[in-house]
Structure 1
């Protein structure tokens, strides 16, 4: 009996690595595009990319947060965007690689990522339940597109004639990707039509009933190297936890004051706008500011006295903190005694340097409380003020190890010469800035190398809640030198030379700059 001929075995078809990667990336672009488009109708913050990024920020371990602040400074959001994009791209590549024979594994991974996006949106406090449509539809669209392209790139019966050519698959995938990109752009345009920018533009001039006193002519020493006394809005430092700047229209904004109060009140923007407005010149400082850092700025803020609003609500004895919440869910705890101090000058601000608050600085309204670091006093996009105890509620930064009480520390900085600068030998002009908000600067001293301290010339004091500029002239022989500065505030305290990190309640130490004279 002759041996039967065996039919040649046919290898199970599978996608090439390049094609599998391409399909995964197209699915990712589809999810992001659809999610962003839908978010334009249900809430911009519901865009899956935005929601996931904010989720990462909110749940990052404290050491990671501290490292990011110290290492990246104001570039942390940009780095996070790039990092998240890289991670998502890697996930898309993995999705394709695990699906070279079947679309099933990839669709499972897309589903898992979609669930993560749904959870991230669900936990947001600045969007409604309809916002869940954005991550859900993004996930469904990505799964359908991935499966559709996979079937055409790898027909189930493995017959080449029933599938599409490689070029056809690439063309269809590219078409889908372009369409998803167009959807994202359309979503951005739609969102902009009802954005905070158009609302801000319609406000008109903010004219305070009580204007800040005019600045004296010697409020700064710009010609000697100090910064201008008033920081332009575009240059004002920005530190917050918002991955994407919240977009809040004035007709949607409300401020609720409740908790341990006699009367719960809710205020609209027009309620605030129609009150007599006050203008105050205030220097704000971030607790993350290193010795010699630039996270300090000054502006003329326009708004209403916070004490007036709190008096109307009737804060009860026993309230320990004003627990402020931003529209994006960020929380901040201010000592109630400070918020209620009639001499503190605490404000609900709606304007900055003669115009409505810039969107990135809290439009429509923010809290401004002189003398406290921003993380306990300067909530942007504020919508809720609850009076409670320290034990009952713990704010965002307190949960991460920062201090409960955070008065701004007396500090000084050298602005000129710059570190590493070369200057002519002989008379050397040194200039800088000092601040001790709500106490005031009494004097500034500088020394060259380890020589004697020399008192610097101070600018005119605008008020005790603002910085003061200083300058001094030193004699430097040819060679390398180090200049050091220290300030004394009006309580008689001279800043310490003890070096301390910003955590948990602000950095300390003397600022020094090395330069070469020749």
Structure 2
């Protein structure tokens, strides 16, 4: 190593005496080649690809072994569980049924941003990037361990995720460092080869991550045929109560109302599950316990051996705003829940049936409603002539006519504890919603749509109304603030279902506004008082503006 010339000087050590001293300076590194540094763009890409590989590996292993062990989805579940009430309500109001995709996309953006910053911080040494990957891996591992359905096997997916993330980061970082330009040196053929290898490797990691994540997600959704055999078994089971035939006059689809029965693919979905549980019917069981005379555990075969009932029921979400679309109707097949509770013997003082789901969700349902004769509460196993869709609770869910779903309609139900409201709080009760939530008398205008432009002449106004389990006796419509006019009601099928209506008006060209109100069979009139969904359902009259040309 070249050194600067030695500098000689003298230091006085006494009167008239000097002592020569030689000093050698530190090596001059100015002439040495500078250490290679990865360009910022490539450094950021290395960080993003490493984290993407980690997420994909975790998703793939989870899909193969245990969908509940996906670290990415477990973190999302933790966000849902731990989010403050105001944030949950903001997300529901802002994004509606798209809140889950928005949450997962937002997580992806944040994680990618952290990964890019970690890569940029690792332009010379992989240490900062490795630290971030390890921190994210530990976060995913912790989220999985705190999942309600955690088992030791679930640790495998987040562990593999962490190892893959670190390994890919070190590998790509080494390739990127080797391919980086060295200031003052000419580009050599070997440098070109290294860069080509880096490009190919980065592309391979990206493709493998996308494919692995996609396959893992597909496997995690239960891609196997879980429902087909169950549909056949339901069709062959003993049916002791058949749903009434749905007459053509039960709906006015030609006037703009929905069909009376909602196709399964169009049925609204509201729940907290980021992953749809995929539980085989033969692996399902329900434990009924707590304040009962005889605790009991039921299998799916036990349900099929009992008398099955078939009932049309309209379900609506408490988050549904006035005029909203979070309402659907289906014919459900299942076992009468009241009969089951009478068999196990509910003890005096038990006022809450605390149900839990395979994904850890929980809520409380009033026992007096479940035991009410004629209420029709069910453990449903079928929907519109087939097994329950996975996203609607397969293999078994609760259906309780007349109550909003957040206190009654537990999907993927696996536990039912008879207890008291003083002893336990349901998921949404802990977040500011009501303890008891009977469905309110409501109506909705489906036609004309808001801000529609219609030809002059006679205009048909049509919609739906509901007041389970009482039923609808009357719907009135007012055009431009004028007198209320009775609408024509469709044929009633059941008090547990919605009822269609329509009315006609002669309207002149210009802007118009129409509103509706319903009256239940017990005389309760839909209130004009406007209220938000929190804590027990929205109220008010729907009002639609449109124009006539």
Using the size of structure 2 for normalisation, the TM-score is: 0.89
Could you tell me how far apart the structure 2 residues matched to 1:181 and 1:416 are?
43
Could you tell me how far apart the structure 1 residues matched to 2:264 and 2:494 are?
20
The one-character-per-residue Cα deviations of 1:143-180 (angstroms, maximum 9, x if unpaired) are 1221233234336xx99999982332232233333334
Worse overlay, 208-217 or 58-67? 208-217
- Establish whether residue 122 from structure 1 lines up as the match of residue 151 from structure 2: no
SS in 2 for 1:199: coil
Q: Which residue of 2 aligns with 1:346?
A: 377
- Establish whether residue 111 from structure 1 lines up as the match of residue 134 from structure 2: yes
Could you tell me how far apart the structure 2 residues matched to 1:419 and 1:190 are?
41
Equivalent residue in structure 2 for 1:319, among 342, 346, 350: 350
- Compared CA separation, residues 181 and 426, structure 1 to 2 (3 A): closer
Worse overlay, 227-236 or 48-57? 48-57
Equivalent residue in structure 1 for 2:195, among 156, 166, 184: 166
- Establish whether residue 198 from structure 1 lines up as the match of residue 225 from structure 2: yes
Could you tell me how far apart the structure 2 residues matched to 1:500 and 1:188 are?
39
Q: Which residue of 2 aligns with 1:380?
A: 411
Q: Which residue of 2 aligns with 1:178?
A: 207
What does residue range 298-447 of structure 1 map to in structure 2 within 5 Å? 298-447=329-478
RMSD of Structure 2 on Structure 1 (CA): 2.3
What is the CA-CA distance between 1:261 and the residue it aligns to?
1.4
Worse overlay, 48-57 or 289-298? 48-57
What is the CA-CA distance between 1:12 and the residue it aligns to?
4.0
Could you tell me how far apart the structure 1 residues matched to 2:465 and 2:529 are?
17
Q: Which residue of 2 aligns with 1:16?
A: 39
The one-character-per-residue Cα deviations of 1:430-487 (angstroms, maximum 9, x if unpaired) are 1111000011111111111121111111112111111111111122122211111001
SS in 1 for 2:278: coil
Q: Which residue of 1 aligns with 2:479?
A: 448
What does residue range 220-369 of structure 1 map to in structure 2 within 5 Å? 220-369=251-400
Could you tell me how far apart the structure 2 residues matched to 1:243 and 1:2 are?
72
Could you tell me how far apart the structure 2 residues matched to 1:485 and 1:241 are?
32
SS in 2 for 1:85: helix
- Compared CA separation, residues 183 and 227, structure 1 to 2 (3 A): closer
What is the CA-CA distance between 1:249 and the residue it aligns to?
0.9
What is the CA-CA distance between 1:10 and the residue it aligns to?
5.0
Could you tell me how far apart the structure 1 residues matched to 2:209 and 2:247 are?
56
Could you tell me how far apart the structure 1 residues matched to 2:218 and 2:251 are?
43
What is the CA-CA distance between 1:276 and the residue it aligns to?
1.5
SS in 1 for 2:534: coil
- Establish whether residue 6 from structure 1 lines up as the match of residue 28 from structure 2: yes
- Compared CA separation, residues 479 and 201, structure 1 to 2 (3 A): same
Could you tell me how far apart the structure 1 residues matched to 2:405 and 2:138 are?
35
SS in 1 for 2:356: strand
- Compared CA separation, residues 441 and 188, structure 1 to 2 (3 A): closer
Worse overlay, 159-168 or 198-207? 159-168
Could you tell me how far apart the structure 2 residues matched to 1:443 and 1:6 are?
95
Could you tell me how far apart the structure 1 residues matched to 2:360 and 2:39 are?
45
Q: Is the 8 A contact 1:205 1:355 kept in 2?
A: no
Worse overlay, 301-310 or 203-212? 203-212
Could you tell me how far apart the structure 1 residues matched to 2:116 and 2:66 are?
29
What is the CA-CA distance between 1:30 and the residue it aligns to?
1.4
The one-character-per-residue Cα deviations of 1:361-393 (angstroms, maximum 9, x if unpaired) are 111010000000010111111111111122322
Equivalent residue in structure 2 for 1:99, among 118, 122, 126: 122
Q: Is the 8 A contact 2:220 2:275 kept in 1?
A: no
What is the CA-CA distance between 1:225 and the residue it aligns to?
1.8
Q: Which residue of 1 aligns with 2:20?
A: none
The one-character-per-residue Cα deviations of 1:303-326 (angstroms, maximum 9, x if unpaired) are 000112222222211112111111
Could you tell me how far apart the structure 2 residues matched to 1:488 and 1:357 are?
33
Any gaps of 5 or more consecutive residues in structure 1? none
Any gaps of 5 or more consecutive residues in structure 2? 8-23
Q: Is the 8 A contact 1:434 1:469 kept in 2?
A: yes
Q: Which residue of 1 aligns with 2:248?
A: 217
Using the size of structure 1 for normalisation, the TM-score is: 0.94
What does residue range 77-156 of structure 1 map to in structure 2 within 5 Å? 77-154=100-177
What is the CA-CA distance between 1:44 and the residue it aligns to?
1.1
SS in 2 for 1:485: strand
Q: Is the 8 A contact 2:480 2:513 kept in 1?
A: yes
